[in-house]
Amino acid sequence: MSQVLELGMLDERKDFILCNSKDKSKGLKCEKDSVAGAVSQRACVYCGARVVLNPITDAFHIVHGPIGCASYTWDIRGSLSSGSEVFRNSFSTDLREQDIVFGGEEKLTAAIEEIMESYNPEVIFIYSTCVVGVIGDDLDAVCRKAEDRYGIRVIPVQAPGFAGNKSSGYKAACSAMLALMDSNLAPIQRSGINILGDFNLAGEMWILKDYLNRVGIEVNAKFTGDSSCQEIMKAPQAELNIVQCAGSMTSLAKRMKHKYNIPFVKISFVGIEDTISSLRKIAELLGDEEIVDNVEKLIQEEKSKVEAKIELYRQRLKGYSAAIYVGGGFKAISLIKQFKDLGINPVMVGTQTGKKEEYDQIRELTDEGTIILDDANPTELEKFMKERGADILVGGVKERPLAYKLGVAFCDHNHERKHPLTGFVGAVNFAKELDSTLNSPVWEIIANESGGE
């Protein structure tokens, strides 16, 4: 890969970047901590934990650390709620120099007391941050004492930002949810399925739930979009876990299989092709003939509503090139299929936390010459988008400014999106958004004003 490295790019990063070719002898390095000094687009351990737990609508979250950690993730996902809005608050111990010298446990105890007096919560999650990892406050002990004193769940989330990468934060969040499930001592009576790894950013969880209910499948618990503490506690009752965001939730699914004997399956409702195969996979696993028939009916019904619209956008979008930079590999794979279906060629594909088997699949799905990156930084994204001539970047909030500075169209497929991009309706919303940005007259105006530079 040395031929693509140049000034501003780190030599230590070369194995994390690959130009796709028929020769599969060289693999892509992934599932590692970020290279020091690389200014990774990835978030820290604490942020990984927070994005998973924050959508639980009636949970309280205390960030034990400097105020910056709390503000960095305050209401970080635009997750929608059909009930409580408590999760939109952010509580912090606001650690200062003096606390760092003398310890912050007293301040944390006082913060719990204040929340108990003001809100009477059922569950509090308490996050450690970088500073707490350095000074060594005993989070577990403070939480245990608070549980004894108040008789509620006060769950530590061990997530010092530097102690690993975003994936370690996902695992810390999964441990916290398992600890919450331990509160439920009711006997297990299997019923319904759990949806893991959808955060209801723009109502996606409701679309999923609607499809499942229509074919006769009851949803037992949702992780974590539009869920509640009680819902998480009853999750061990489910007969199947379906895992959408595999990066954040596979660890929980594996541990629930081990602990509660609940099987799991990875699915994706991003794009029509994957929506159809996921619905069929779930029905097949549940082994109910009526559900299998209902799924086929739903597929026909929903497809007939969107086919003509998708075809219209296909005509307007074919021939463009796209760059993808998203959190997990599952989404990148579904996006590649969606782009190809619309006649758009993915020329660069990267993820923050992709796994080896996901990158293998990405290599199978993309053309030779496509740049594939793990844990990229802005310098690399800029270089390869320019070099490969991407017309649009699909990413999240941290990629948006980069695209606009480069004069490239942008589609938010992450925290800040406003239209659901899941299922059949989501596929139309996605195509519509691509059309409005790619075919906007603004690009022609910019090109004329800059003289084509």
- Give me 62's structure tokens: 């205390």
Total Cβ atoms within 10 A of residue 270: 27
Cα(344)–Cα(364) distance, integer angstroms: 17
Residues in contact with ligand SF4, total (CB under 6 A)?
9
Contact present, 325 and 371 (Cβ < 8 Å)? no
The CB-of-92 to ligand SF4 minimum distance in angstroms stands at 10
Stretch near ligand SF4 under the rule CB under 6 A, chosen from 9-17, 64-72, 104-112, 437-445? 64-72
The CB-of-22 to ligand SF4 minimum distance in angstroms stands at 40
Instruction: For residue 63, give the 3-state DSSP assignment.
Output: strand
Interaction mask 359-388, ligand SF4, x per CB under 6 A: ------------------------------
Residue at shortest CB range from ligand SF4? 161
Closer CB to ligand SF4, residue 47 or residue 80? Answer: 47
Closer CB to ligand SF4, residue 49 or residue 177? Answer: 49
Asked whether the CA dihedral 362, 363, 369, 372 is positive or negative, the reply is positive
Contacts for 146 with CB less than 8 Å, ≥ 6 apart: 109, 112, 124, 152, 154
The CB-of-36 to ligand SF4 minimum distance in angstroms stands at 13
Q: Which of 65, 203, 225, 329 binds ligand SF4 (CB under 6 A)?
A: 65
Stretch near ligand SF4 under the rule CB under 6 A, chosen from 65-73, 114-122, 212-220, 271-279? 65-73
Of residues 157 through 176, those in contact with ligand SF4 by CB under 6 A are 161
Cα(280)–Cα(298) distance, integer angstroms: 11
- Residue 160's nearest CA partner among 311, 44, 282 is 44
The CB-of-128 to ligand SF4 minimum distance in angstroms stands at 8
Site membership for ligand SF4, residue 69 (CB under 6 A): yes
Closer CB to ligand SF4, residue 47 or residue 283? Answer: 47
Instruction: For residue 347, give the 3-state DSSP assignment.
Output: strand
- Give me 60's structure tokens: 């309280």
Site membership for ligand SF4, residue 225 (CB under 6 A): no
The CB-of-66 to ligand SF4 minimum distance in angstroms stands at 7
Contact present, 283 and 268 (Cβ < 8 Å)? no
Query: CA-based angle 204:399:412, to the nearest 5?
Result: 25
Instruction: For residue 162, give the 3-state DSSP assignment.
Output: coil
The CB-of-380 to ligand SF4 minimum distance in angstroms stands at 21
For tokens 């990875």, what's the residue?
A: 266
Contact present, 285 and 242 (Cβ < 8 Å)? no
Pairing outcome for strands 153-157 and 193-198: unpaired
Of residues 2 through 61, those in contact with ligand SF4 by CB under 6 A are 44, 46-47
- Give me 29's structure tokens: 């390095």
What's the half-sphere exposure (Cβ side, CA atoms, 13 Å) at 128?
A: 27
The CB-of-46 to ligand SF4 minimum distance in angstroms stands at 4
The CB-of-169 to ligand SF4 minimum distance in angstroms stands at 9
Closer CB to ligand SF4, residue 46 or residue 320? Answer: 46
Site membership for ligand SF4, residue 129 (CB under 6 A): yes
Closer CB to ligand SF4, residue 46 or residue 424? Answer: 46
- Give me 411's structure tokens: 């589609």
Of residues 71 through 90, those in contact with ligand SF4 by CB under 6 A are 72
Closer CB to ligand SF4, residue 44 or residue 217? Answer: 44
Site membership for ligand SF4, residue 245 (CB under 6 A): no
User: Distances from the Cα of 218 to the Cαs of 69, 191, 222, 237, 335, in angstroms?
Assistant: 38, 8, 11, 12, 28
Closer CB to ligand SF4, residue 72 or residue 325? Answer: 72
Q: In the complex, which residues of this chain contact ligand SF4 (CB under 6 A)?
A: 44, 46-47, 65, 69, 72, 129-130, 161
